[in-house]
Amino acid sequence: MTPMHRDKVSEPVLIDFSGVAKVYGRGHAAINALDGIDFAIHGGEFVAVMGPSGSGKSTCMNILGCLDTPTAGTYRFDGVDVGSLSRDQRALLRRHYLGFVFQGFNLLNRTSALENVELPLIYRKVPLGRRREQARAALAMVGLENWAHHTPGELSGGQQQRVAIARAIVSEPKVLFADEPTGNLDSARSKEIMELLQDFNQRQGITIVMVTHEAEMAAYADRRIDFLDGRIDDGSGEGGR
What pLDDT is stored for residue 241 in this prediction? 37
Q: Check which CATH number belongs to the domain holding 113 and give it.
A: 3.40.50.300
| Calculated CA dihedral for residues 151, 157, 163, 166, nearest 10 degrees | 180
Is residue 238 pLDDT above 60, yes or no?
no
pTM, whole model, 2 decimals?
0.90
Number of folded domains that form the chain? 1
Assigned domain for 193 exists: yes
Assigned domain for 241 exists: no
**C-alpha–C-alpha distance, residues 220 and 181, integer Å:** 13
What pLDDT is stored for residue 7 in this prediction? 65
Q: Find the domain containing 151 and state its range.
A: 8-232
Distances (CA, A) of 142 to 57, 175, 176, 183, 194: 28, 17, 15, 19, 12
User: In the structure, what pLDDT confidence band is assigned to residue 239 with cuts at 50, 70 and 90?
Assistant: very low
Assigned domain for 75 exists: yes
**C-alpha–C-alpha distance, residues 77 and 88, integer Å:** 16
Assigned domain for 238 exists: no
What pLDDT is stored for residue 4 in this prediction? 44
Assigned domain for 201 exists: yes
**C-alpha–C-alpha distance, residues 15 and 77, integer Å:** 5
